[in-house]
């Protein structure tokens, strides 16, 4: 592909990491930094000390605090803002976006007010612009250090997905494509919910047995809801499903797992969120997933118990007991129904 001009809106850990991937390919790009103090630090030290310390920012990365300047003249715009901010940011920047500019969302979450997927939120405001998502098992800290990583670019339009694939593909960053944008987004958002549960389990002092059960039954819940929303079952066996779930539930890079550990150790949600600059996406995702389960009449017991812990002050040990003592059932209900 010809050299594309890229705008990245959002200089958190993931937006910064993706900027380094493109910079190493010689891509011309602009990175919008919301916080003025961080912008000055990044310009002076060529490093994002707040969100991705220790990773050098190359000379191809032009830093700006002006959102309109960032997107002007670019072929592709990558939105890397927290999920709860996507709607507001799109509303603010939409007058400056041209119909021919491609849009990629890399945040993993849902819109809690409308229960829409983030690509839907973007398309509602920018109906003329092709929209894709980038998701998968990918800690920013590792991507910034050139650790081999694989992700998936999803879009209903194959050409758009392959455009994103070509844009990012490099020796340390492999990109697959998938037309199932619904499944990719649901997998990316809801794995954070299960990661909170895995962290709570760790915080309670439980072991690998417990975490394996949470992850395995967790992906069942995620797939159950995704399929009800129109996703393909096979997507949840891929990078944006079980792949992202594994990395988020098992790594200390995962802010959702870390938050869960603190909750399991007895801290309140307010204490946990007040102690980090990072956004814990799983909190709002839990709220959205719980409401979606009611909307689509999908049974999601793990999600429901995590919701009760986060928003109804339920006792975490009692929630574990509730899960263990649920009515007995088969592991794969849809298979058993065929007997």
Catalytic residue numbers? 191
Across 65-130, where does the E strand assignment appear?
76-79, 102-105
**Phi and psi angles of residue 176, each rounded to the nearest 5 degrees, phi first:** -100, 165
How far apart are alpha carbons 230 and 134 in whole angstroms? 19
Structure token pair of residue 263: 């909750």
What residues have CB less than 8 Å from 265, skipping those under 6 apart? 203, 204
DSSP state, residue 231: -
Alpha-helical regions (H) of 105-171: 118-125, 140-144, 158-168
- The distance from CA 207 to its chain's CA centroid, rounded to whole angstroms, is 26
How far apart are alpha carbons 67 and 39 in whole angstroms? 13
For β-strands 131-135 and 149-154, DSSP reports them as antiparallel
Strand partners, 110: 117
How far apart are alpha carbons 57 and 24 in whole angstroms? 10
How far apart are alpha carbons 276 and 37 in whole angstroms? 17
Q: Between vectors from CA 196 to CA 190 and to CA 202, what angle results, nearest 5°?
A: 140
Other C-beta atoms lying within 10 Å of the C-beta of residue 307: 20
Closest CA to 173 of 134, 120, 227: 134
């Amino acid at each position: 592909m010809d050299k594309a001009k890229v705008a990245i809106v959002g200089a958190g850990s993931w937006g910064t990491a993706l900027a380094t991937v493109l910079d190493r390919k010689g891509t011309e790009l602009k990175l919008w930094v919301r916080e003025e103090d961080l912008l000055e630090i990044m310009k002076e030290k060529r490093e994002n000390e707040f969100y991705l310390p220790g990773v050098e920012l190359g000379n191809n990365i032009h830093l700006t605090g002006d959102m309109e300047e960032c997107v002007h003249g670019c072929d592709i715009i990558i939105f890397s803002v927290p999920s709860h901010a996507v709607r507001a940011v799109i509303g603010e920047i939409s007058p400056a976006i041209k119909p021919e500019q491609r849009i990629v969302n890399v945040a993993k979450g849902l819109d809690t007010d409308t229960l829409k997927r983030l690509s839907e939120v973007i398309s509602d405001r920018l109906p003329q612009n092709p929209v894709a998502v980038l998701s998968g098992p990918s800690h920013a800290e590792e991507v910034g250090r050139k650790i081999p990583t694989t992700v998936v670019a999803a879009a209903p339009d194959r050409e758009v997905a392959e455009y994103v694939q070509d844009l990012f593909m490099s020796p340390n960053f492999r990109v697959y494509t998938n037309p199932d944008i619904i499944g990719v987004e649901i997998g990316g958002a809801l794995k954070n919910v299960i990661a909170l549960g895995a962290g709570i389990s760790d915080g309670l002092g439980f072991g690998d047995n417990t975490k394996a059960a949470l992850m395995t039954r967790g992906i069942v819940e995620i797939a159950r809801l995704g399929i009800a929303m129109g996703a393909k079952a096979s997507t949840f066996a891929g990078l944006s499903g079980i792949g992202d779930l594994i990395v988020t539930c098992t790594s200390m890079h995962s802010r959702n797992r870390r938050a869960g550990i603190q909750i399991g150790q007895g801290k309140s949600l307010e204490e946990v969120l007040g102690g980090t600059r990072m956004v814990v996406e799983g909190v709002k995702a839990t709220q959205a997933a719980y409401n979606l389960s009611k909307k689509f009449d999908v049974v999601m017991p793990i999600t429901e118990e995590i919701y009760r812990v986060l928003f109804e002050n339920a006792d975490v040990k009692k929630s574990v007991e509730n899960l263990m003592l649920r009515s007995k059932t088969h592991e794969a209900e849809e298979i058993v129904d065929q007997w």
